[in-house]
Amino acid sequence: MARQITASKPPAPAVRSRQMNGAQTLVESLRREGVEVLFGHPGGASLPIYDALYDAQDIHHILVRHEQVAAHAAVGYARASGRVGVCTATSGPGATNLITGLTDAMMDSVPVVAITGQVPRPVIGNDAFQEADVTGITMPITKYNTLVMRAVDIPNAVRAAFHLAGTGRPGPVLVDIPRDVSQELCEPDFDEEPALPGYRPVLDGNPSQIAEAAEALSAAERPIVYAGGGILSSGATPELTALADRTGIPVALTLMGKGAMDETHPRCLGMLGMHGSAFANWAINRADVILAVGVRFDDRVTGRLKDFAPHARFIHIDIDPAEIGKNKPAHIPIVGDAKRVLAALVPLVRAPKIEAWWKQIEEWREKYPFRYRQRDGRISHQYVCDLLNRLTGGQAIVATDVGQHQMWMAQWYKCREPRTFISSGGLGAMGFGFPAALGAKFARPDKQVLALVGDGGFQMTMQDLITAVEHRLSLPIFILNNGALGMVRQWQSFFYRGRFSSSILRNPDFAKLGDAYGARGIRVERPEEVEGALRTALATEGVPCVVDILCDPEENCLPMIPSGQSVAEMILDD
Amino acid sequence: MTDLQHAATISVLVQNAPGVLVRVAGLIRRRGVNIHSLSVGPTEDPSISRMTIVVDTAPERTEQFAKQLRKLVEVLRATSLDSTPAVDRELALIKVNVTPGTRLEIMEIANVFRASVVDLTDKTMTLEVTGRGEKVDAFVTLLTKYGIREMARTGQVTLVRGSQNT
Ligand SMILES: Cc1cc2nc3c(=O)[nH]c(=O)nc-3n(C[C@H](O)[C@H](O)[C@H](O)COP(=O)(O)OP(=O)(O)OC[C@H]3O[C@@H](n4cnc5c(N)ncnc54)[C@H](O)[C@@H]3O)c2cc1C
Ligand SMILES: Cc1ncc(C[n+]2csc(CCOP(=O)(O)OP(=O)(O)O)c2C)c(N)n1
Ligand SMILES: [Mg+2]
């Protein structure tokens, strides 16, 4: 602001210097990073930070009821917006409650900054009250972490944290601040550039490798693109779509890549992998040239590595050199940012002659589309997912939990744009879905956001319904209630002779629970009630709506390539 | 060492900052690989340390280790040295039992290995030897029969030969 215009405020104490305490320095640093929202829960070691936040009108702190929710919400916020998500917790138990969420962010390469309080410097290492070695614990689950030992170092630590979290291969960064550092007075310099000589992500691909890739694709008979989460972090959707449009090459997406391309585009084959479409899996396995971009050859995609696309030459584009050749050797490796590399590659590719290839793919697509049965009187999970897709036009932001419902939604929800499918992919952390939707709603209040969860996973983080109520979020939560830890039940039915050990759930009445929290609760027991309930929930404004949908308790999620096997062993029907 | 399936050497330049050693060691540990030896010391630039790590891992995994190490923010450079001509050295201090009868014999062995006597009492002799790991191993083997009371080895340090940087 150019000048002060308010006269009514009491005069500020005469400014002796630019002195402030560590907590105020932190808040100012966050402001300079453009932070508008952070999710957290206070405690002794972070009290000075909360005191400083009390004065920060422009930074909105969302009090969650469990720190796990803070971390998942930060992930949801980041994935919906492309900005860095921020969460905060106190020392000891507060910080350890963040662990699952940070691990999720690490596995799925999500930019998150976590600020934790630590016990005061003089007692660090003495097993002080609520002390945990948080930088030690989080070393393998963060891209970087740091214990700040002087208030004056806070601006630098925060700048480095946001830079590291949000650039290159994104990931979580944790900044641990002892309570007395938050209280220490200092004269911060906010303009100092952090020196990170060991951190230099490569963005531009090697031109001769790109030319070689273009040649391989132009000459291919059965090419396919295998695209994933890296397209979304890079913002490379236009380039990927241009490649498909220009060359006609089919595109298969990973779970993390959903939304990287409009899934209703005729060239898009949707999701591949363990629960992907049969046609996408057949196609990649018969391909002669595979352009893998922003993917990490996860075992849920490849199955048994030696049988994965055995005849193909692999072109692999990734910003992280360690991903290239990690699981499968790359014939043409290209280190760089997906957007830049694809932009350079697309004009060089001549449309290959692939009419016969497409004929084959269309045959597969016709022969084995996703399908489901409607058993008498039972509500089909897939029907609910299909309906949500149709009612939203694939244009809502969907956050899922982990399990069968997650896979059904991945199969039936056709994303139209990037950053609309938010799911715990690499870690597969139950309890993720609802908090991630909460975070996404704060990032995109203008957008329809919904959570699709299982009856098992929802119970891991549902206490934060009150947070959604408190903030009057228009947030429908659909529970595909099969009275079971469905995915576990499915494995037991396929691989453990139907011995359902600890996978059948006794559940609370979720609709009443919603009511108790002050949300809207709807219970759906019959197929003919489903559509009305979904419409009501999607239209509910100013309050979350819990829709408990009693679904077929015996349905299995298919197709399925059993763990560690190959496309030849795919289970199509049960 | 001789009993390793494969000893791969990785040389790592790191910023001299707290916690770096734990990050490097943790990265290797979580992959279930044993660190055979690790030596850390300053370089020509006091803000930078060099770690020479010998890990017990298959050759095709060594480059993957180096790549993962390069992802650590404090790591400036990580080189897998397996196919590169390099000089390796290790230093060992070995305290053996001596008697008036064995003293000369041991000193002769020490001479052959260009080891030096750094401490001597009427019951013990402490020898210092440097060289490649195999040489140190051979020296130790020869001394075994006199009774080795204590030994300390530094772990390997390595530099690439010629003008190329390690
Ligand atoms: C129950 C369950 C079932 C699952 N089933 C399936 C399944 O059937 N199919 C499936 O696909 N997944 C499935 N998953 C998810 C799976 O575990 C992995 O999370 C997912 O396959 C990984 O997606 P990805 O390869 O796109 O990589 P991500 O984890 O999204 O990684 C992104 C990659 O892109 C790179 N990158 C990041 N930024 C850039 C950039 N700017 N430029 C270039 N590269 C960049 C990164 O270095 C990384 O290599 C399942 C998960 C669960 C929990
Ligand atoms: C935190 C956590 N614990 C355990 C698991 C193992 N697990 C994977 S899916 C699943 C069942 C999920 O049940 P539910 O939430 O009801 O979803 P459904 O599969 O029935 O759709 C379990 C227990 C997990 N992924 N995460
Ligand atoms: Mg369930």
Cβ-defined contact of B68 to A322 (cutoff 8 Å): yes
Domain hosting residue B150, numbered range? 87-158
ipTM of the complex as predicted: 0.91
Question: Same structural domain for residues A406 and A323?
Answer: no
What would the mean pLDDT of A300-317 be, rounded to a whole number? 97
Q: Which of A333, A367, A401 is the last residue of a domain?
A: A367
Domain hosting residue A93, numbered range? 20-186
Question: Same structural domain for residues B94 and B137?
Answer: yes
**d(C-alpha A188, C-alpha B36), whole Å:** 45
Question: Same structural domain for residues B125 and B114?
Answer: yes
**d(C-alpha A455, C-alpha A348), whole Å:** 50
- Ligand 1 center to A353 CA (angstroms): 30
Sheet holding B48-56, edge to edge: B35-42, B48-56, B7-15, B75-80
Residue A181 placed within a domain: yes
Q: Which of B24, B56, B84 is the last residue of a domain?
A: B84
What would the mean pLDDT of A92-110 be, rounded to a whole number? 98
**Dihedral angle computed from the Cα positions of residues A376, A379, A380 and A385, in that order, rounded to the nearest 10 degrees:** 150
Burial of A55 per CB tally in 10 Å (0-12, 13-18, 19+): exposed
What is the pLDDT, as a whole number, of residue B143?
Answer: 98
**Residue B49: its chain A contacts at CB < 8 A?**
none
Q: Which of A198, A320, A325 sits opposite B15 (nearest CB)?
A: A198
Residue A413 placed within a domain: yes
Residues facing A521 on adjacent strands: A546
Contacts of A121 (CB under 8 A, 6+ apart): A149, A178, A180, A181
Question: Same structural domain for residues A166 and A213?
Answer: no
Question: In 10 A of CB A36, how many CB atoms?
Answer: 14
What would the mean pLDDT of A2-16 be, rounded to a whole number? 48
Cβ-defined contact of A198 to B75 (cutoff 8 Å): yes
- For A515, the token pair is 């009511």
At B60, the pLDDT band (50, 70, 90 cuts) reads confident
Question: In 10 A of CB A315, how many CB atoms?
Answer: 27
**Residue B30: its chain A contacts at CB < 8 A?**
140
At A11, the pLDDT band (50, 70, 90 cuts) reads low
What is the pLDDT, as a whole number, of residue B119?
Answer: 98
How many domains does the structure of chain A reveal?
3
Interface test with B, best of A144, A305, A327 (most B CBs within 10 A): A144
At B59, the pLDDT band (50, 70, 90 cuts) reads confident
Closest CA to A546 of A516, A517, A518, A510: A510
Residue A445 placed within a domain: yes
pLDDT digits (tens, 9 = 90+) for A508-564: 999 999 999 999 999 999 999 999 999 999 999 999 999 999 999 999 999 999 999
Question: Same structural domain for residues A212 and A158?
Answer: no
CATH number, domain with residue A269: 3.40.50.1220
Nearest ligand 2 atom to alpha carbon A403: 19
What would the mean pLDDT of A284-312 be, rounded to a whole number? 97
**d(C-alpha A544, C-alpha A533), whole Å:** 14
Q: Which of B60, B84, B108 is the last residue of a domain?
A: B84
**d(C-alpha B76, C-alpha B71), whole Å:** 9
**Rg of chain A, C-alpha, whole Å:** 25
**d(C-alpha A356, C-alpha A370), whole Å:** 23
Question: Same structural domain for residues A168 and A262?
Answer: no
Task: With both helix axes pointing from N to C terminus, report the angle between A433-443 and A67-81 in degrees, rounded to the nearest 10.
Answer: 50
Residue B1 placed within a domain: no
**d(C-alpha A366, C-alpha A360), whole Å:** 10
Number of residues assigned to chain B: 166
**d(C-alpha A56, C-alpha A37), whole Å:** 11
Question: Same structural domain for residues B14 and B70?
Answer: yes
The yes-or-no verdict on residue B83 having pLDDT over 90 is: no
pLDDT, averaged across chain A: 96
Cβ-defined contact of A196 to B26 (cutoff 8 Å): no
Question: Same structural domain for residues B110 and B125?
Answer: yes
Residue B109 placed within a domain: yes
Residue A196 placed within a domain: no
**Would you say A99 and A141 are in contact if contact means Cβ atoms under 8 Å apart?**
yes
How many domains does the structure of chain B reveal?
2
CATH number, domain with residue A502: 3.40.50.970
- For A76, the token pair is 């949801």
Tokens 């940012």 correspond to A337
**Would you say A427 and A372 are in contact if contact means Cβ atoms under 8 Å apart?**
no
CA distance A311 to chain B (A): 22
What is the pLDDT, as a whole number, of residue A413?
Answer: 98
- Ligand 3 center to A95 CA (angstroms): 29
The yes-or-no verdict on residue A392 having pLDDT over 80 is: yes
- Ligand 3 center to A517 CA (angstroms): 22
pLDDT digits (tens, 9 = 90+) for A201-239: 999 999 999 999 999 999 999 999 999 999 999 999 999
What is the pLDDT, as a whole number, of residue A17?
Answer: 63
**d(C-alpha A243, C-alpha A213), whole Å:** 13
Question: Same structural domain for residues B94 and B54?
Answer: no
Cβ-defined contact of B30 to A140 (cutoff 8 Å): yes
The yes-or-no verdict on residue B127 having pLDDT over 90 is: yes
pLDDT digits (tens, 9 = 90+) for A352-386: 999 999 999 999 999 999 999 888 899 999 999 99
**d(C-alpha B119, C-alpha B147), whole Å:** 16
Residue B165 placed within a domain: no
**Residue B65: its chain A contacts at CB < 8 A?**
none
Question: Same structural domain for residues A496 and A360?
Answer: no
Which residues are close to ligand 3, an ion, with C-beta < 5 A? A 454-456, 482, 484, 486
**d(C-alpha A405, C-alpha B151), whole Å:** 61
Cβ-defined contact of B72 to A198 (cutoff 8 Å): yes
b (16+ CB within 10 A) / e for A253-291: bbbbbbbbbbbeeebbbbbbbbbbbbbbbbbbbbbbbbb
pLDDT digits (tens, 9 = 90+) for A144-161: 999 999 999 999 999 999
At A143, the pLDDT band (50, 70, 90 cuts) reads very high
Residue owning the nearest CA to atom 41 of ligand 1: A234
Question: Same structural domain for residues B68 and B128?
Answer: no
Q: Please state, for a pLDDT cut of 70, what percent of chain A lies above it.
A: 97
Q: Counting ligands in written order, which one lies closest to the CA of residue A302? A: 1
Question: Same structural domain for residues B78 and B91?
Answer: no
